[in-house]
């Protein structure tokens, strides 16, 4: 878990409803289950918790790839790319 990944997730969650989109994907792919939702909603650092779930899913073989891209200049762009055995998922924010 890197500091930059956590900062990237924190920024993404500040911008819009990307946390909900990510949680929906994680639930569908079995990376999280419904018992994780109350923990996530009550934790003070949602980005650290999500990063923990990503690392655990990679370790368990549920998530094959988790790629972070955070471009700050000349305009902000955040791209998260996930690959599981069944599907690929991209979460993208562009501030052009």
Condensed to tens digits (0 to 9), the pLDDT of residues 34-65 reads 999 999 999 999 999 999 999 999 999 999 99
Domain residue ranges in the chain = 3-95
CA neighbor of 89 nearest in space, from 38, 37, 41, 23: 23
Total-model pTM: 0.90
Of the candidates 89, 65, 93, the residue with the CA atom closest to the CA atom of residue 79: 93
| Mean pLDDT of the chain, nearest integer | 94
Distance CA 85, CA 70 (A): 25
Q: What is the pLDDT of residues 13-24, one digit of tens each?
A: 999 999 999 999
Query: What is the residue-wise DSSP string for 21-76?
Result: HHHHHHHHHTSS-TTHHHHHHH-S-HHHHHHHHHHHHHHHTS-SEEEEEEE-SSSE
């Amino acid at each position: 878990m890197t500091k930059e990944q956590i900062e990237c997730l924190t920024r993404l969650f500040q911008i819009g409803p990307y946390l909900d989109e990510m949680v929906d994907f994680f639930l569908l792919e079995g990376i999280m289950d419904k018992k994780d939702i109350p923990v996530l909603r009550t934790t003070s650092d949602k980005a650290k918790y999500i990063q923990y779930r990503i690392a655990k899913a990679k370790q368990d073989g549920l998530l094959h790839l988790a790629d972070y891209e955070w471009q700050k200049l000349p305009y902000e762009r955040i791209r998260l790319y996930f690959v599981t055995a069944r599907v690929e998922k991209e979460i993208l924010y562009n501030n052009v």
